[in-house]
Structure 1
């Protein structure tokens, strides 16, 4: 008996349905397995994110946090935690160290739906209670042109900030005594002068130089000398008011700024107290040390209207004290101004020095500490005057800057250095980078960009073979203009370094923005590197900060193998100093270059 056709069709349909159900179940099984794997991956990623110092966040269209992943001890992602950012706007969080104008600018960016980068603030860890520095960046989210919120990431930058703050402190304070250094003193002095002008009152600047400090240092050692300087610093602080400033300049020199002092009679009691206090015996390792000081004083406004004027005149008065037997104080008067005559003679001589060919450049090598290879050369100006003889730069450069003559002198130095570097290349020597110092006055009075372009064009030196050394005081000018100029010159291929870093006015905020290659560590820090822990701390901090910013470091004034070995251990990149070679005229330096590259590397200390 044959099967009915409908029954056969029904059986086929049932079989087809069963196959489809089986296939669907297989698909669902695979889907569930994939989802389980995805959830496991997400859990692992979330766990890793929670252990990281970085975190990821999202905001909704009302600018409230909707998701937070990671952050370790810094960010709570629990919706039940009172300190969690979830459901809150950023300005509703317990954030510190953000100025009102910064908040206003940040909110304007968010409300304009624009991306932002490196918004920095401090926030307290919900787990440890400690304040951490954070930096966040974010981008707006859009779907079909409709704003849906923000997403971005944050990072804990506490360690970097601590390094920056440490270097910032060391840049504005004397490492040995903790007193303000020259840079901070100038800032304090400007504030004191502004206050004195508003209040129609005077102030005094006292220049203090210890008598016979070198004898004490040489006979009892550097440790005793350092102990004496720390003790002197403490005694000076105890002699003045909180509103006054005590600063260590260098060596055994200190400067006091006494506010609200209108003349000699109001200043004498403080000076007498200082003289008595400094003469009280001190003890170091069982030995009694007696100290005295020579002090010179100048008054604002009668003796000068600026820090430099007052310092110079107080310095003259201090030397009058030295000349008359020491252990005394003198007040500036016009009779002390004999040095003005020399200043005038130097200035007149400088006006003719270029056309008479009295200037000459000497060259000193810059060596890579690790390889011992020469990587650059610095051009150093010398003046052979028929009137004064060989004049040291420290004597005539300030006169050139005061008179504005540094502009044509600086242009001559730049072109001559470029010509010489090109001549060495034409002679078959490797292309070295030649470093030339630019004065702050050149930035202020000269078209530096045109001067540099002209020197390169006339000499034929490639731009990448020129390094321009900037002094930290350049940052006291129009910072944005300086930064823009550096960027434009960098685009041509030139290199930049900050000279004598740590002795001037560098703001770390500007340093991060300035497109430079190298920091030159001042010789005063290098000289004391193997003698005091404080000097070592400064050099180590500068090297660490520079490397974090992607910069190289070069130490000036390296005169011994011990210093070179210490710098190598610290991680400094380059060295310059008498250990390798003294500055020398171009013909002598050419022979030095040939010998160096013929031998491939000069002998290096172990």
Structure 2
């Protein structure tokens, strides 16, 4: 059938449609986010068509690229990627397929941009490829996202593979699903695969404590997670380690439990360290015995035991005698070895149910439980005394120490731990006073004596603060002239109520507590002031003697203190005399002599007090820079009834005077004593025969009376 010929009107409509279609296609291409192109398949990929998207993608205008006017597209491709792009397109051409390739281009502003190019070859009439057409799109954001995802996956994988903590996923029924190398290493396996294949029942194969896996699961169900879940577990070789787990439950979108995941840390070293620290905190570092920290706990346990079985327990406070002397003179190494020996001896003297505690220094406490008869305690303490007193051989030398022991009984002597300890300490103090190397049982009378002592100490401290101390002066008289040659300053304590407390009641407390140092300094200053005042009033020196306690004498700055006091009071050194007891020599004779010489260089007078009753110092006497020997009153007081003392007195006087010292007799109370001492050549006397210690104003009156008669 013959078709009708198109009319002019229809031809115009077709042309309009074609034109509109072309316009729509051009608009569509130009609005695409990317570059539509067509290039010749030649050496330079000469562009013959480039869409308007070229500007946004490359920074160049389409005309810049068409016929390689300003730059060829291949030059825009990142240099390292050009071979990849050409290879991908050449391979597609060879196979007659479409191609897709991702690569980088350099934007006109020098930024590097990732693009995805998709295209296909165009063939001529002869079937040969003469052009390429396609679409190039910016994929920089997608590439960045992919790279971030890759980096994150790499980091997670790196963390998983290289973490020092074990990482795991386990099924709810106790099978390992995933583990990292660290967990395999912690449990002693060569690889994660070996661990998963061998360790397939966590409860039976891993946890040492039965039911521990169930505790883990219950904690999970209760809290959806566990934190610091510590357990003792088996390793592959059946040894054990401590681990700490942190884990959580993982569910699917429907809320079904998938698995547990978490981390494992080997805390064996920390557990061992904690155990070591706890042991160190509760035990003495030298002897390994329980220490003061453990004492109250053990003592309370012993009390509870006694209550439960209706019997008694005992607290024995043990203090080593002579230890300080050995430790100071022979060194701490010997002292430590001695303490080790004593701790073993004490432990050997008690039963397994009893406890030896080292409080510190040379003090120990023994807790004796299950006591039916107090005599049992005394028998045990006798064993302790005997064991301690046996010689100790250290560095081929024999050392002998003894012990003083105080005992308190529960519930007789207290029902509280602190009360029992305090009372045992009180009894030990009594053992020291009783001559050492013995034990004493606590009594109420002993407690009253201690309470009195504590009260006295408190009152003495207040007396020092409130200025209740004063000095009395006992004259010294020259036998040859009958005149007062000086005086000894003697401390007294006068309370606000007027009571005059003699030094015998408080000086020993001052010495033990260290108060003697402040008291001694006060006495020294007051005596020097009085000596200065007397010299000015009497017109001649009246030397004042001051007693120096053993504690004061051992102070390294004693000589400097004397110098400072003399300067402060502006007193001539020859108006001050220091009296040192002979017993001070016992600790260190060389140091004693050295200190005497240091004092003598100041210009003061020195006297040895109580001579003849203390340490046997005759071997050193020739080295003493001493001005006076004071004969102890024990040789004078019974002179009438004990003729043997006459020989001793004569010997001391001859000895002292032959060494250039004056000899003064203390405690002269009768005419007979006075006359006899004068007859055998004694230089001076001091005692009630002439005058008792008197207040300063009365002493001045005596001096004035002698001055008026002369």
Alignment TM-score, normalising by the size of structure 1? 0.48
Tell which structure's C-alpha radius of gyration is larger.
2
Q: Please report the TM-score for the alignment, with normalisation by the length of structure 2.
A: 0.41
Larger RCO, structure (CA 8 Å, separation 6 or more): 1
